[in-house]
Amino acid sequence: MPLEWIGVAGKVADGLNEVMIANQALEAELARVSRVVGTQGELSQRVVVGGSTQSWAGSVESVNSLIDALVRPTSEMQRVIGAVADGDLSKKVSADVRGEMLELKNTINDMVDQLNGFVSEVTRVAREVGTEGKLGQAAAVTIEVGGVWKELTDNVNLMAGNLTGQVRNIAEVTTAVANGDLSKKITIDVKGEFLELKNTVNAMVDQLNAFAGEVTRVAREVGVEGKLGGTWIAGRDWSIWLNERFDASGLR
């Protein structure tokens, strides 16, 4: 409005000019805060106006309250997600929110619960099977998990199951040998170093079977049938025969 007006018209013009200036200042400040908060992610910024624009204080307060309501849960969610990334699963989102923010809060907290359940069970199985020797243990995640978490849980249980089967089969055979039963051999399907151990134990059983058979034969021929000279096998001494057997099986 023209500044040269006087009287009532001048006062009206001055008042309208003040309103227009205040409106322009508020518009510029809202645009700035919208840019730095919404686009640049500077969550500490707020709308600040002064001087003649105090007539807009109610609107400014409402806008800042809106920013606070959005920033507070966002900052807390960021804190929880950052803690999870650092391996700290003790934090959860506790902000009082509604609507889509509530859905996001519940999703993050469910994620923390799932990770807690998965990690604690995997740790328990690894400790009980690997350290305490409690075979037959499996990760029992009470909260339903999917995707990569289910795959990891299944793989841990598969590993624990394979180790349990392999160790128990080897223990069964070696216990049978210790009890004088040479009829058992390791039959479980294994690979790598367990395959080497399987072959070694089975070769040992074969050698012991052959040794026991020869001892029985010689004892029967010498002690029962009276066939002297049974201490020789194919013209060789017992010690030579045993040494060759053990060398062939790799047991020494």
Pair 220, 176: CB distance under 8 Å: no
Q: Give the Å distances, CA to CA, from 38 to 48, 100, 104, 179.
A: 16, 18, 18, 77
Q: Give the Å distances, CA to CA, from 136 to 130, 162, 164, 168, 191.
A: 11, 9, 6, 10, 20
Between 37 and 196, the higher pLDDT residue: 196
Residues in CB range of 130: below 8 A, 6 or more apart: none
Interval 4-54: pLDDT, tens:
555 555 666 666 777 777 777 777 878 888 887 777 777 777 877 765 455
Interval 91-130: pLDDT, tens:
999 888 888 889 999 999 988 988 888 888 888 888 888 7
Selection from 228, 251, 231 nearest residue 240 by Cα? 231
Task: Indicate yes or no: pTM above 0.85.
Answer: no
User: How much is the pLDDT for 92?
Assistant: 93
Token pair for 225: 């049938």
Pair 231, 184: CB distance under 8 Å: no
Separation CA 48–CA 51 (nearest Å): 11
The mean pLDDT of the chain is 78
User: How much is the pLDDT for 80?
Assistant: 94
Token pair for 84: 């999870």
Between 226 and 5, the higher pLDDT residue: 226
- Can you list the alpha helix ranges (DSSP code H) found in 34-146? 57-85, 99-125
Separation CA 62–CA 30 (nearest Å): 12
